Structure 1
């Protein structure tokens, strides 16, 4: 007996109502649209309220400070550990792709793809994968190739246990929850967190979450 696919909850952010309607109709049955938004402010409000699994996010949006999708991601920064952002745009410029990925998006696809393809992209992003339209992947590799080496160097500073604690703390787990998950004491968790912050030259859990999100480690 086959297991039915898990329902993936999404918010659609695009300033064109016709496009939102068409996209909503094209998504597969296992993808549930919780809300729609047309501006930066509406998007931040909707995403914060609904806490979806994935946000389908247009790169260029009215409102806010004129930074579009990047501003939406920044406004929902505390949710990057649980909510994934998939950029969806008519633009295929390297500047747009790299800027929104740097902001924290997990993927970038163009609006020319089919409903089946966007549904598959949503599932993959929800599962933790990074997804790009084929010709856009090169932009990301060029922009982040050297950055990945730097990330590896930073992670090499942490022990295996410190790395486990870092990931959980960055995802929003409390010290008590981390202790329970790893079968260690809360005091040991505190010790590991202090070591992680010191080695990565960070000053708070908030900075740690941002650091991990910027490096797509969540």
Structure 2
């Protein structure tokens, strides 16, 4: 490592990781803040929110390094926060912190762009370490949850499939059309690639828009990218 690189690393490590808390239970947020205060030399809580709208506004204002994100909230949950924040603030890292250890919840939030997923049984010290690790680029999971992610994304023979309820609404042909659409293909090019008519492509796109409740090609492309279809 050069002297300049070493200096840059030292400067990066000289300040605590700035954290924003998102959870709809104020008492839980208070507890997490208190736990992380014990690691104030490495982690600093800069703000918190109890709803999706508050989270989107707060993250945009504070520009934290890491967002600790609850998965289930009444107005949309962690995946909705990710969907609204990541396109404009791609540098912000998200770590899911949830009481749920269900495979569907883990995969949904990872597909949406979270860098890791830990459960609320984690200790304060372990949570501070997890925050620092994702800030440095690592992926962090509570022990049994990592297997869900490997099964979902590694396509290992014999791996138990992880279901995505939204993705499961689409037919195989609709997924093919969506994948090419997200890659930037025009309708005529999709028709040629899949040996179908342009009219059939339009019909499939309309069906996908209806099933996903999205309104345009840009939103479909982002939706497909979040689910690793591209």
TM-score tier by shorter-chain length is 0.5 to 0.7
- Counterpart in the other structure of 1:45: 57
Q: Are residues 17 and 25 of structure 1, via their aligned partners in 2, closer, same or farther at CA, if it must alter by over 3 Å?
A: same
2:7 is aligned with 1:33: no
Q: The residue matched to 1:56 in structure 2 has which SS?
A: strand
1:6 match = 15
Pair 1:16-2:25 in alignment: yes
| 8 Å Cα contact 1:80-1:213 kept in structure 2 | no
1:102 aligns with 2:108: no
Structure of higher CA gyration radius: 2
TM-score (norm. length: structure 2): 0.62
* Alignment match, 1:55: 67
Q: For residues 80 and 124 of structure 1, what CA distance do their matches in structure 2 show? A: 19
How many Å separate the matches in 2 of 1:120 and 1:10?
12
Partner of 2:130: 121
**Where do 5+ consecutive residues of structure 2 fail to align?**
1-9, 157-181, 186-217
Task: Give the length in aligned residue pairs.
Answer: 156
- For residues 126-168 of structure 1, give each alpha carbon's deviation from its aligned partner in whole angstroms, at most 9, with x where no partner exists: 0111100000000000001139xxxxxxxxxxxxxxxxxxxxx
CA distance in 2, matches of 1:94, 1:55: 21
Alpha-carbon distance in 2 for matches of 1:98, 1:80: 22
Runs of 5+ consecutive residues of structure 1 not aligned to the other structure:
148-199
Q: What displacement does 1:201 show? A: 3.5
1:116–1:79 distance in 2 versus 1, CA, 3 Å: farther
Taking the TM superposition and a 5 Å limit, the aligned residue runs for 1:184-203 are 201-202=183-184
Q: Aligned to 1:146, what secondary structure does the other structure show? A: coil
Q: Equivalent residue for 1:170?
A: none
Change (3 A) 1:8 1:35: same
Cα distance in 1, alignment partners of residues 183 and 53 from structure 2: 33
Residue 62 (structure 1) shift: 2.0
Is 1:80–1:104's contact at 8 Å kept on the other side of the alignment?
Answer: no
> RMSD of aligned C-alpha atoms?
2.5
Corresponding residue for residue 139 of structure 2:
130
Aligned match of 1:177:
none
Q: Could you tell me how far 1:46 is from its partner in structure 2? A: 0.6
